[in-house]
Structure 1
């Protein structure tokens, strides 16, 4: 057993029922939380995923409430997401914030080369979300960008920025934010938050940045990640998959591409550990920075001509 407190184990066992006991707990993110649990043979559940948080931390409380609300919406609309088994959103039963879910098939390891099918599949997954209309609510607030609870602009002001990032910030300030109805957004749609079986996307995980917003948030978030992982042409395959599935042309792509690229720091080293954890040890800060800048420069050049 790997560092799961006894009270948490009892809570999990009670939630699963049938007297089932936790057999193993394996950290899924750099050897830690969330946890992949297996159970002693004979029960009705063979495995589950457990996410834990600190009930004294308001940010954790908000993230867990968002995760649960998002999984409920996803379940109601048959989206590729885990199903809830049990929750403790105040820590009273488990002595921690706790969300226990079913296990989705597939893995999140990112290949060094992506097929057209995989890239288009990521776009198709983003398009499935935009088909769900959603008004903002307390647990699923209005989102205007990915990873909305991290102020990347403030961090760049503190740690340093680049001329290109500064130009992009100033350019966005001159433009009105796109309007229109809001839809269900994942809010952190990158390959590390997707599961795959071959080239088929089997699910999305880590819903704690979800909310209501423009379809462009997830589409360009996925496009930007594809460009970082595989190079600029990969982003166009994601767009193609999105448009094929949505049955329409995506709107304001250049605008949302700029927004997505601004969800970074000048030094891309900040995201390297997460990428290495997903199997991409070939990626380093300099390469990621060049790919980020190529994506952002292309988006800026398209802004004035963007008549979408």
Structure 2
């Protein structure tokens, strides 16, 4: 999903001495901070490098506002998700330390290990890359997870953003309205809940060649249907590379999961409705990820093609 939530984005443009001391203390070994580099538009989150180089040469530091209840919830979710991912050896950064009330660091803070790879999105994706995206989503669905306070029940990606309300305010399309009405007439798929990332798009993945080396930005994670992450990954592939790419993601998911995915068309519609009518809202994030070729018109055309296909499959009774 291209409306990625970045923890604390815009909250901190410079790092205080207090937070630098906290980060160095969390690493331990009498190290000091040697350099910091902003990873998103020159700011939060930060790559923090230490010297002398010891057990941790560098770490990723995310900061947020302790006075903002939304930040506090998302940071708690991020930490809980990283712990679940670590327990199940999923491709995620290791948690070094967290300050979830800001008392020690002077801000909400999460310090994690650095994953290999990069998140730049190529203009063309190989079959191997697309199928590995599906396999990555399948790895999460293998972890049963009942809802809990920090990892609540999720029914869609980026569940703290009400896209339907924003469309009512800013304008919508006949196709998106029809899709909303179609979902309202359908019962939500049931079944046991599993661990979901909750914002699975290519900008939240790291890659070395065509191999996914990790997932980042876990602040929308929770418990939900496997279709949430699969639908999100399929939708993003269609936006980035065209409609056939979504089928390769599905093929990779099914091969890794060892079973057929269920209710694919339903979750495709859910994923496509996690946007605004005017796709200009996500263009800056995509350009920042290396895709200046994508504009609002092309993204809108691809979104609508994906959504029409999903609605046709629903009407035809296809999974």
TM (norm. structure 2) is 0.95
Q: Give the superposition deviation at 1:125.
A: 0.1
| Structure 1 residue 72 corresponds to structure 2 residue 62 | no
Q: Secondary structure at the match of 2:23?
A: helix
Match in the other structure for 2:177: 166
Contact 2:265 2:318 in 1 (8 A): no
- 1:272 corresponds to which of 275, 278, 283: 283
Number of matched pairs: 307
**CA distance in structure 1 between the partners assigned to 2:318 and 2:259 by the alignment:** 15
**Which residues in structure 2 correspond to 1:58-207 (within 5 Å)?**
58-207=69-218
Q: Give the superposition deviation at 1:307.
A: 4.6
Distance 1:223 1:20, change over 3 A: same
**CA distance in structure 2 between the partners assigned to 1:108 and 1:162 by the alignment:** 32
Q: Give the superposition deviation at 1:204.
A: 0.2
- 1:49 corresponds to which of 47, 50, 60: 60
Moved more, 289-298 or 14-23: 14-23
Match in the other structure for 2:300: 289
Moved over 4 A (4+): none
Q: Give the superposition deviation at 1:265.
A: 0.2
Match in the other structure for 1:258: 269
Match in the other structure for 2:9: none
Match in the other structure for 1:8: 19
**CA distance in structure 2 between the partners assigned to 1:306 and 1:72 by the alignment:** 39
**CA distance in structure 2 between the partners assigned to 1:164 and 1:255 by the alignment:** 15
Q: Secondary structure at the match of 1:142?
A: coil
Q: Secondary structure at the match of 2:223?
A: strand
Contact 1:127 1:246 in 2 (8 A): yes
**CA distance in structure 1 between the partners assigned to 2:38 and 2:71 by the alignment:** 18
Q: What per-residue deviation string (whole Å, max 9, x for no partner) do you get for residues 82-140 of structure 1? A: 01101100000001000000010000000000000000000000000000000000000
**CA distance in structure 1 between the partners assigned to 2:210 and 2:61 by the alignment:** 26
Q: What per-residue deviation string (whole Å, max 9, x for no partner) do you get for residues 33-87 of structure 1? A: 1111111234321110000000110000000000000000000000000011011
**CA distance in structure 2 between the partners assigned to 1:28 and 1:249 by the alignment:** 38
| Structure 1 residue 306 corresponds to structure 2 residue 317 | yes
Say what the alpha-carbon RMSD is for the aligned residues: 0.9
Contact 2:131 2:251 in 1 (8 A): yes
Q: Structure 2: which 5+ residue stretches go unaligned?
A: 1-12
Q: Give the superposition deviation at 1:26.
A: 1.2
TM (norm. structure 1) is 0.98
Q: Secondary structure at the match of 2:137?
A: helix
**CA distance in structure 2 between the partners assigned to 1:42 and 1:111 by the alignment:** 33
**CA distance in structure 2 between the partners assigned to 1:306 and 1:242 by the alignment:** 21
**CA distance in structure 2 between the partners assigned to 1:64 and 1:177 by the alignment:** 28
**CA distance in structure 1 between the partners assigned to 2:81 and 2:222 by the alignment:** 7
Match in the other structure for 2:39: 28
- 2:252 corresponds to which of 212, 235, 241: 241
Q: Give the superposition deviation at 1:305.
A: 2.3
Q: Structure 1: which 5+ residue stretches go unaligned?
A: none
Q: Secondary structure at the match of 1:265?
A: coil
